C-alpha cells in the first residue's frame, strides 16, 4: 500500500515538519529508550515517562542500561535538554505525540497480559487533548488498538481521526544487530482511520528512512505477529531436524550448511537450546490466543512452540549422554555453562533457554557455574541469585563438562576446548576449532 496524502495537512503534521512537536515515550526499556534516542537525535524534544525511579535516575544521569544505546549517544541528548525522563504522568498533558512501548508478557497459561498497556492508556486518556497522536508499539494480538485502546481514549468524548489520531506501529528492534537499527529498518504504520495513518506516517518520517503504511491497526498488528511466527515456526522445524539427525547419526550443522548452498528456495535457520528474547517465544501465542477465540486452532504455531519449549530438556539429556562417555552422571557433576544471554554478545536474558537448562541441571543434582562477560548475575526461578564466575584455565579444567549455551564472540573456543575435559556445544560455536582439539560434542 502506498501513502496517500490527499487530506489537508493537520496542525500536528506541520509540527512534525518543523520539528516543534513534543514527544512522550511511555516505557524506556529495550524498545522505548532506543526510540527516544532516535527521535531526540532527529531534533524533537522527548520525555520518557517511566514507573521505575531507578530507570529515570539512570537516564537523567546520561547513562544507558540498554545494549544498543551507549552513554556516548545518550548523554549529549540529556545534557542538551532534548531528552529527559520522568515519573510524573503530567508530562503527557504537554505531549503532541505519545508512543507506548511497554511490556506485553504472557501469563503462565499463555494468555495475553495487557495490563501494562491498559495502565499506559489510562494515563494517556487522563491527559488526552485535540491534535494528539497516540501510537502503540508494544506487540499484541490483532484488534488490541481498535477494541481495547480506542474505546478508552474515546470515552473522553474526543473521536479518533477527528479530534486526535491513533495508530499502531510494531517495533522492529533486534538487540545486538549493528546492520539494521531503528533508522534504517522499514517501519509499518496502520492508523484507526486513513487520516490517523497519514499523521503517524508524518511522525515516523521525521527520523526513519522508510515508512510503510498499511490499511488498518489490525493489519499492522498482524504484520508483527507474522514476522515472529515465521521465525518461531522455522526454528521449530530446524530444532526437530536436529532431533532427527541425532537419531540418524548425522551432523545437523553439515546438513544445514550444505542445504544453504542452494541459491533459491531455501533460507537457513539454526537449532539451539531453545527460544529466547521477548518476541519470538511470546508473540506467536498472541496470534494463537486470538484465533482460539474465533474457534480456530493454529496448529503450526502450537507445534513449533511445543518443540522449541522442549529443547532445554533435550539439551540436558544430551549433556547426560556426554557425561556417560566418562562413566559420570549428572548428579554430582561439575558443569561450567558458557553464556546465559538469549543470543550472542548482548546482556538480555529475557526468556533465555540457558536459564531453563541451568534449572534442569540443578534439579538433577548438578553443580552449575556460569561465565558470561555480558551478564554479571541472573535471578533464578526460585528467587536465588547466581553470579558469573571468571573463566580461568583452572576453572575450565576442573569442570566435568563445559557447555556452550550462548556463543559469545568473547570466548576463545580453541583455548577452552584444549583445556576442558569435554565440551558440549549447542550453538556450533566450536565450528572453527581445529579438529583434534579436545573432546567436543555438538548439538
Distance of CA 7 to the CA centre of its chain: 36
Is 155 in contact with 122 (CB distance < 8 Å)?
no
Least Cα distance to 30 among 239, 278, 275, 365 occurs for 278
Listed in sequence order, the DSSP H helices in 194-345 are: 194-204, 217-248, 252-259, 283-292, 299-324
User: Is 279 tagged catalytic?
Assistant: yes
Are β-strands 22-26 and 367-371 bridged in parallel, bridged antiparallel, or unpaired? unpaired
Place of cell 486518556: 125
The three cell numbers locating residue 123: 494515563
C-alpha cell at 101: 512501548
Question: C-alpha cell of 106?
Answer: 504472557
In this structure, are residues 301 and 288 in contact, taking their beta carbons and an 8 Å threshold? yes
Helix or strand or coil: residue 261? coil
262 CB-near residues (< 8 Å, 6+ apart): none
**CA dist., res. 358 & res. 369, Å (int):** 9
> Catalytic pick from 97, 196, 279, 417?
279
Cα separations in angstroms, 347 against 152, 336, 341, 376, 441: 36, 18, 6, 9, 26
Contacts of 241 (CB under 8 A, 6+ apart): 252, 255, 256, 271
Residues 6+ apart with CB under 8 A from 56: 48, 50, 85, 86, 87
Cell numbers that stand for 440 in this block: 567436543
Alpha-carbon span 308 to 317, nearest angstrom: 15
Catalytic residues: 279
Amino acid at each position: 500500500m502506498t501513502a496517500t496524502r490527499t487530506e489537508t495537512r493537520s496542525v500536528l503534521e506541520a509540527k512534525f515538519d518543523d520539528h516543534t512537536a513534543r514527544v512522550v515515550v511511555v516505557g524506556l526499556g529495550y524498545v522505548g529508550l532506543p526510540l527516544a534516542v532516535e527521535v531526540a537525535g532527529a531534533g524533537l524534544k522527548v520525555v520518557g515517562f517511566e514507573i521505575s525511579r531507578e530507570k529515570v535516575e539512570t537516564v537523567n544521569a546520561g547513562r544507558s542500561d540498554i545494549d544498543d544505546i551507549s552513554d556516548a549517544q545518550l548523554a549529549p541528548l540529556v545534557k542538551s535538554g532534548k531528552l529527559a525522563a520522568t515519573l510524573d504522568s503530567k508530562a503527557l498533558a504537554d505531549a503532541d505525540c505519545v508512543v507506548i512501548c511497554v511490556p506485553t508478557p504472557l501469563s503462565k497459561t499463555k494468555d495475553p497480559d495487557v495490563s501494562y498497556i491498559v495502565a499506559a492508556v489510562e494515563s494517556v486518556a487522563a491527559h488526552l487533548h485535540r491534535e494528539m497522536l497516540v501510537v502503540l508499539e508494544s506487540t499484541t494480538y490483532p484488534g488490541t488498538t481498535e477494541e481495547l485502546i480506542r474505546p478508552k481514549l474515546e470515552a473522553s468524548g474526543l473521536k479518533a481521526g477527528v479530534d486526535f489520531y491513533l495508530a499502531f506501529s510494531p517495533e522492529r528492534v533486534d538487540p545486538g544487530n549493528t546492520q539494521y537499527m531503528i533508522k534504517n529498518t522499514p517501519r509499518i504504520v496502520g492508523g484507526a482511520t486513513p487520516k490517523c495513518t497519514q499523521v503517524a506516517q508524518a511522525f515516523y518520517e521525521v527520523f526513519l528512512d522508510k515508512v510503510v503504511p498499511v490499511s488498518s491497526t489490525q493489519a499492522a498488528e498482524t504484520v508483527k505477529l507474522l514476522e515472529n511466527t515465521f521465525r518461531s515456526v522455522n526454528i521449530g522445524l530446524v530444532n526437530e531436524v536436529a532431533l532427527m539427525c541425532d537419531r540418524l547419526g548425522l551432523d545437523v550443522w553439515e546438513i544445514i550448511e550444505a542445504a544453504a548452498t542452494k541459491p533459491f528456495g531455501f533460507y537457513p535457520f539454526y537449532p539451539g537450546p531453545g527460544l529466547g528474547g521477548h518476541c519470538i517465544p511470546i508473540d506467536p501465542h498472541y496470534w494463537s490466543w486470538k484465533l482460539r477465540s474465533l474457534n480456530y486452532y493454529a496448529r503450526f504455531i502450537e507445534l513449533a512452540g511445543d518443540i522449541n519449549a522442549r529443547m532445554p530438556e533435550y539439551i540436558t539429556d544430551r549433556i547426560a549422554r556426554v557425561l556417560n562417555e566418562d562413566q559420570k552422571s549428572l548428579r554430582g557433576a561439575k558443569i561450567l555453562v558458557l553464556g546465559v544471554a538469549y543470543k550472542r554478545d548482548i546482556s538480555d536474558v529475557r526468556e533465555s533457554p540457558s536459564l531453563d537448562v541451568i534449572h534442569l541441571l540443578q534439579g538433577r543434582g548438578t553443580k552449575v557455574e556460569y561465565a558470561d562477560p555480558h551478564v554479571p548475575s541472573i535471578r533464578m526461578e526460585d528467587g536465588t541469585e547466581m553470579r558469573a564466575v571468571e573463566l580461568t584455565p583452572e576453572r575450565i579444567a576442573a569442570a566435568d563438562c563445559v557447555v556452550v549455551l550462548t556463543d559469545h564472540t568473547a570466548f576463545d573456543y580453541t583455548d577452552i576446548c584444549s583445556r576442558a575435559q569435554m565440551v558440549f556445544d549447542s550453538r556450533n560455536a566450536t565450528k572453527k576449532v581445529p579438529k583434534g582439539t579436545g573432546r567436543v560434542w555438538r548439538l
